[in-house]
Amino acid sequence: MRRLRSFLGLIILGSLCGVGILAWYTITPQGGKNPPAGEPASAADLKLDRLRYTETREGVKEWELEAASAQYFKEDGTVVFEKIRAAFFGKSEQTYSLEGEKGRFNTQTKALEAFDGVRLETSDGYRLETRALRYQPDTRELSTGDPVEMRGPQGKITGTGLIVNLDQQRIKILRQVNVVLTSWNPAGNQGTKP
């Protein structure tokens, strides 16, 4: 009987040790694991709520941004945003308003990215939706390789890939372009439909 109790005690002790080792292995971070895509590998050096930022060149406002929160990663030179709104200013007072659930800004190149439910509206009545949009300051262009849908006063355009040149006020959809007109008026008659 004494041997049976000792044997059962060893089994219970061994089981508890096994559970403890398994729990320790599960909650301890594993070396070599990569961080989720789009997030820097290091912990944030600075965290802010309700950020507002304006980018200027030679005293002229190029764009401004508001975010619900921001995290700055000094090692990567990156700022990661949550719920961003940005306004880009073209020539002739044209404005492009951008919204996205998340964003990223490179403090060295000044490139800005918005992703997850991106919407872009122009001051002349066009609205565009896509997954991600990148602003490149050297060319003053917004671009994506993702599928896009653009709606305007005359209809809807869908396709893949996009370049918006802010200075030339030109929007170009690159591939698989499909146009649906809601009103077409070649002779100046109001309300004609194709």
Res 48: pLDDT: 84
Res 187: pLDDT: 58
Pairwise CA distance, residues 153 & 97, whole Å: 17
Res 82: pLDDT: 94
What percent of the chain is modeled with pLDDT above 70? 72
* Vertex 149: Cα angle to 171 and 100 (nearest 5): 90
Res 93: pLDDT: 77
The architecture in CATH of the region 46-181 reads Sandwich (2.60)
User: Which among 43, 129, 117 has a CA at the least distance from the CA of 80?
Assistant: 43
**Which ranges of the chain have pLDDT less than 70?**
1-42, 183-194
Res 29: pLDDT: 37
Res 1: pLDDT: 55
96: alpha, beta or left, given left = phi > 0 and alpha = psi -120 to 50?
A: beta
Write out the DSSP string of 34-74. PPPTTS-SSPPSEEEEEEEEEEEETTEEEEEEEEEEEEEET
